[in-house]
Amino acid sequence: MKDLTQGSIPKHLISMALPMMIGMLIQTLYFIVDLYFVGKLGSAALAGLSLAGNAMFLIFALTQILNVSTAALISHAVGAKDQQDANLTFNQSMMLSTVVGVIVCIIGYFGAQDYLNLISQDPDTVMMGLAYLHWFIPCMALQFIMVSISSALRGTGIVKPTMVIQTLSILLNIMLSPILIAGWGSGYAMGIAGAGFASSLSVIFAVVLLCYYFITTDKYVSVDFSLWRINVPRIKKLLAIGLPAGGEFFLMFVYMGAIYWLIQPFGADAQAAFGLGSRVMQALFLPAMAIAFAAPAIAGQNFGAQNYQRVRDTFRWSAIMTCSLMAIILLICLTQAELMLTNFSDDQEVILISVAFLQMICWNFVPAGLVFTCSGMFQALGNTMPALLSTATRLITFILPALWLSKQSDFQIEQLWYVSVATVCLQSSVSFYFLKREFKKRLPRDNLSNECSDELDKNKLIT
């Protein structure tokens, strides 16, 4: 367990974010390898990968319920020095993740084709997406166990073991991708199905290592099957914090699905281009998101310890770091978009649409950085409903104009990117407003005033 209620906040942010950032940068390489080999299979394969990959937003929504709530409750328990409460939260989270993972696996195999048919009219794209999903679903189901363990460790201030294991898993994925997709060394090319299979094998490897770590290492929390019996009050606490956060990712799944549905008339090339641009964008976001992901544990422990000024300082430093990284990414996309995309597809139409997408959408990167930071602070405070309302604002203000534009005779795909930029700017303003309101409600300044008064009294005594 690492005490984050003492010491330099920027130093804590960097020391926690750095391992995450390394892991995420390696994950960026995984995205690039996957895109490179699948992109060589043609635009239908790239579109199929993108549509199937969008289902991960639905999985993120479900895993986020456990991710946010587990980390928040455990960080509060650590701050309050209540190990028993932290252990109960962890074991209830593990029990829920096991049950939900099995359910997701069953629904995935039965509902994959219906989902793909809904958002694509191209039979080749649907066929490719289905081939990928059938091998990728085990990876989706096992995410829940991984999230419960990693969020518990993060809540106690420990990120290095998770980072090392995830890095090894991603490196395995990178090695397996060319072997399974293109048949390097084996002579048997699985095509797009190989990408899904490589992901599933690497996640199985990661889960085995995480379980081994928990069995062999002393930890602040540990697996105790006697605590796996349903504890209704604790589950209610987990859901109260986690459901709004999960709802936030579910709305992102709806948002991405809406874009794929709206651009259907432009063909498989447009869907492939949007998928390519989105994946590159998500990969670029990872370092900035590492800062935003580190902040909740620091702010959460200080909130649990009633160190309210340190909670405010955590937000300030996190916002500065995250938005600065996003500004750098903006400049990269404005100047180097074509260079980043050229190697992923031989289809010039796909590249042109992707370049236009990145060069327009990058104007929302800095506001998006502020949204990430605010969402992390809502998690730390144990109230994620404002983040859900903020995302809902973005979804509504995007979909209504987008639907109207799609009915116009001069509808162009670029109009969707302009609307998207405007709605993210609006979302960042809404998130910041909600966070200021939460700070006023949950972080009384009396605590700070008392500390200052005590310090003055000490100075008087010394004098």
Does residue 145 register a pLDDT over 60? yes
User: Residue 450 and residue 88: Cα distance in Å, rounded?
Assistant: 34
Does residue 461 register a pLDDT over 50? no
Question: 152 and 83 in contact (C-beta within 8 Å)?
Answer: no
Residue that has been written with the tokens 């989902």 in this structure: 115
Total structural domains within the chain = 1
Per this entry, what is the length of the chain?
A: 463
Query: What average pLDDT is seen over the chain?
Result: 83
Tell me the percentage of the chain whose pLDDT exceeds 90: 20
**Given this model, what pLDDT does residue 30 score?**
61
Q: Helix 9-39 to helix 43-79 angle, to the nearest 10 degrees? A: 160
In a domain, 279, yes or no: yes
How much is the average pLDDT of 276-290?
A: 82
Least confident of 28-32, 35-39, 257-261: 28-32
Does residue 39 register a pLDDT over 50? yes
**Given this model, what pLDDT does residue 447 score?**
45
Q: What is the DSSP letter of 406?
A: H
**Given this model, what pLDDT does residue 435 score?**
92
Residue that has been written with the tokens 């590492």 in this structure: 290
Print the domain residue range for 25: 9-450
Tell me the percentage of the chain whose pLDDT exceeds 70: 91
How much is the average pLDDT of 116-139?
A: 85
Question: 48 and 127 in contact (C-beta within 8 Å)?
Answer: yes
**Given this model, what pLDDT does residue 460 score?**
41
How much is the average pLDDT of 116-135?
A: 85
In a domain, 387, yes or no: yes
Does residue 42 register a pLDDT over 50? yes
User: Residue 330 and residue 363: Cα distance in Å, rounded?
Assistant: 7
Does residue 47 register a pLDDT over 90? no
Q: What is the pLDDT of residues 155-195, one digit of tens each?
A: 777 777 877 888 888 888 888 988 998 888 777 888 888 98
Residue that has been written with the tokens 């993060």 in this structure: 154
Q: Which of 397, 389, 390 is nearest to 422 (CA)?
A: 397
pLDDT band at 6 (very low <50, low <70, confident <90, very high): confident
CA 36 to centroid of chain Cα atoms? 22
**Given this model, what pLDDT does residue 129 score?**
86
Least confident of 37-46, 323-332, 426-435: 37-46
Q: What is the pLDDT of residues 63-101, one digit of tens each?
A: 878 887 888 888 888 878 888 888 899 899 999 999 999
Q: What is the pLDDT of residues 410-431, one digit of tens each?
A: 899 999 999 999 999 999 999 9
DSSP symbols for 157-212: T--HHHHHHHHHHHHHHHHHHHHHHS-TTTS---THHHHHHHHHHHHHHHHHHHHH
pLDDT band at 59 (very low <50, low <70, confident <90, very high): confident
In a domain, 32, yes or no: yes
Does residue 406 register a pLDDT over 80? yes
In a domain, 456, yes or no: no
Does residue 21 register a pLDDT over 80? no
In a domain, 457, yes or no: no
User: Residue 279 and residue 285: Cα distance in Å, rounded?
Assistant: 10
Cα Rg for the chain, rounded, in angstroms? 23
In a domain, 14, yes or no: yes
Q: What amino acid is encoded at 160 in this protein?
A: K
CA distances from 245 to 72, 241, 300 (A): 12, 7, 16
In a domain, 29, yes or no: yes
Q: Which of 291, 353, 355, 295 is nearest to 323 (CA)?
A: 291
What would the two tokens of residue 305 be? 């310890």
User: Residue 44 and residue 272: Cα distance in Å, rounded?
Assistant: 7
User: Residue 302 and residue 317: Cα distance in Å, rounded?
Assistant: 15
Q: What is the pLDDT of residues 182-191, one digit of tens each?
A: 888 777 888 8
In a domain, 458, yes or no: no
What would the two tokens of residue 18 be? 């750095």
DSSP symbols for 314-337: HHHHHHHHHHHHHHHHHHHHHHHH
Q: Is the pTM above the cut of 0.75?
A: no
